[in-house]
Amino acid sequence: MTELIGMRLAEAASLTVALPAGVTHQAEAMSASRQQLFLAGRRLLALWLQTRYGQDELPAMSYGEHGRPQFNDPTLPDFNLSHSGDWLWLAIGAGPLGLDVEVRRPRRQLDKLMAHVLSANEQDWVRLQPDPLSAFYALWTVREAVLKASGRGLAGLGQVMVLPQTRQLLTASVPAGELQQTAWAG
């Protein structure tokens, strides 16, 4: 079972859970805003592990070729973090997991952005929708979540094809699995 936990970034940043010295040392090399986000995500993850597994401290992690974190202990679940606006989200469970959240905000040059990140088929579909901006975000979040699950991040953008007319996702980046998508207004 996969769990999805959302928390305001400021609340997650103020969680009082133990983080290993290696995590805080890793954060020191980041910009202030990136550091706050990184540590808030690690605190939220540590709190979940403390609650579910009785872990006193965030367990050791390693990083894949493109920087995707995973626990060194294979008995622990997979996880993925995402943030947008002032919200931080954690998906945790059997993996591989990918999560992307986006605050829906107007895009001044939506056509240029779509031409850069979507296939011609996807662009045509978006333009035919009653709310093209929401349709764009629906395609973008699916694509980014799959890329995050694969560990490639945006480097694998061309390896994901969405066929929105038939609600199919084509990729060899991750094994076949379940795709869940929702809109949330909070």
**How many angstroms separate the CA atoms of 161 and 96, rounded?**
18
Distance CA 87, CA 10 (A): 8
Burial of 132 (0-12, 13-18, 19+ CB in 10 A): middle
* Phi-psi label, residue 167: left if phi above 0, alpha if psi -120 to 50, beta otherwise: left
pTM for the model stands at 0.86
Query: How many residues are recorded in the chain?
Result: 186
The token duo for 115 is 């031409």
Residue-by-residue pLDDT tens, the chain, 186 positions? 889 999 999 999 999 998 999 999 999 999 999 999 999 999 999 999 999 999 888 999 999 888 899 999 999 999 999 999 999 999 999 988 999 999 888 888 999 989 988 888 899 999 999 999 999 998 888 888 888 888 876 666 667 777 777 777 777 666 666 667 777 665
pLDDT at res. 146: 84
**DSSP helix/strand/coil, 87:** strand
